[in-house]
Amino acid sequence: MSTCKLHEVFEAFANLGVVAVPVVYSDETQDAVREQLLSLEGVLVWVNPIEQGRSRKRLDHLLSDAADAGVWVSAHPDVITKMATKRVLVDTRQMGWGTDTHLHKSTGELRDALPTRLAEQTSLVLKQSRGMGGNGVWKVEPDGDAMLRVQHAVRDSLPETLSLDAFVARCEPYFAEGGFMVEQPYQSRLSEGLIRVYMTHDRVVGFAHQYPRGLLPPIEAQRSQASKVFELPTATANGDLRERMESGWVHEMQEALGIDTHSLPVIWDADFLYGPKTASGADTFVLCEINASSTFSFPQHAMPQVAEAAIRRISESRSAHPSI
């Protein structure tokens, strides 16, 4: 287990006297995984939502069935749908972390709205409903008469010039099976990086300052830092953000989305870009995304809290469903 990417999770459970076992999922092994899950008391789930062009649809049905059978699941698919797709940016846009965010449900809506939206904002970011590694995330700017300058956020992508129709056609797969795209203004301070806030339920358990380069101009991307440093939840530099999360934003999100604290994932994180500074020079923050379905990189110092929280939830679940 020491060579597993998640070995620190297993060690944290072992230190508490609890046996944790790995379960490797694929659509082809769904029946075997179902049998294994039903033999467990709880399951922590990390699965890329768009692995090799596939979706989590079959897995989510399996996890819902396991939860209905009394297995504690984090994060439950219903919770992921509410808080860990890009729709959360629209549903919470009135909060302090929100910005001028729009939802596009079809290619027709996207084609009709983009010219007006670009006239208002100049630079936009469009994001497919869920994904990883910048896949389906685009920076879009006007580039002359009826043309767009677009840049995909996946590694090593370069800016392209496309017509509006050609770009919309490029985005068509994102709308399949009820998919959508979310639009936000491009944040001009992107080169300063983003702050990832690691959460266990409604408590901050760590931070990381990292530097996404996918949407930066190529020259800026070459100069950008590539480091990622985990920080303790008590890190002074992030004290304001921690206070906002724990004293307001998480609970506002719960109210807006209808999620109780016990249903919040044991492991999730919120990514914040730097917004415009206030008149006094203070930072503002804009929510970029929430990750709860595929959060692999989590600070080692937080693993004991993760294990303890999971064990508590499993115990509570058993007490609430003694007959299962």
* pLDDT at res. 319: 67
**Does 296 score more than 70 pLDDT?**
no
CB-based contacts of 49-58 (< 8 A; 24+ apart in sequence)? 49/130, 49/131, 49/132, 49/293, 49/294, 50/130, 50/131, 50/132, 50/135, 50/136, 54/27, 55/177, 56/293, 57/177, 58/27, 58/30
pTM of the model: 0.92
3-state secondary structure (DSSP) of residue 165: helix
| Residue 4: per-residue pLDDT | 65
H/E stretch holding 206:
strand 203-210
* pLDDT tens, residue by residue, 236-291: 999 999 999 999 999 999 999 999 999 999 999 999 999 999 999 999 999 999 99
Q: Which one, of 295, 139, 141, 99, lies nearest residue 221 by Cα?
A: 139
What pLDDT, on the 0 to 100 scale, is given for residue 227? Answer: 73
Q: Which region among 106-120, 196-210, 293-307 has the lowest average model confidence (pLDDT)?
A: 293-307
CB 73, CB 314: distance < 8 Å: no
Instruction: Return the domain boundaries, the chain.
Output: 7-74+305-320, 82-98+189-296, 102-185
Whole-number Å distance between alpha carbons of 190 and 53 = 28
Residue 319, Cα to own-chain centre: how many angstroms? Answer: 31
- Sign of dihedral through CA atoms 289, 101, 238, 209? positive
For residue 122, the SS3 value is coil
Closest of 240, 306, 320 to residue 18, by C-alpha: 306
Which amino acid type is present at position 200? T
Q: Which fold has domain 82-98+189-296?
A: D-amino Acid Aminotransferase; Chain A, domain 1 (3.30.470)
**Which pLDDT band holds residue 324 (cuts at 50, 70, 90)?**
very low
- DSSP assigned state of 210: E
Containing H/E element for 139? Answer: strand 137-142
Torsion angles phi and psi, residue 255, rounded to 5? -65, -40
Task: Return all residues near 142 (Cβ < 8 A) that are at least 6 apart.
Answer: 118, 119, 122, 148, 149
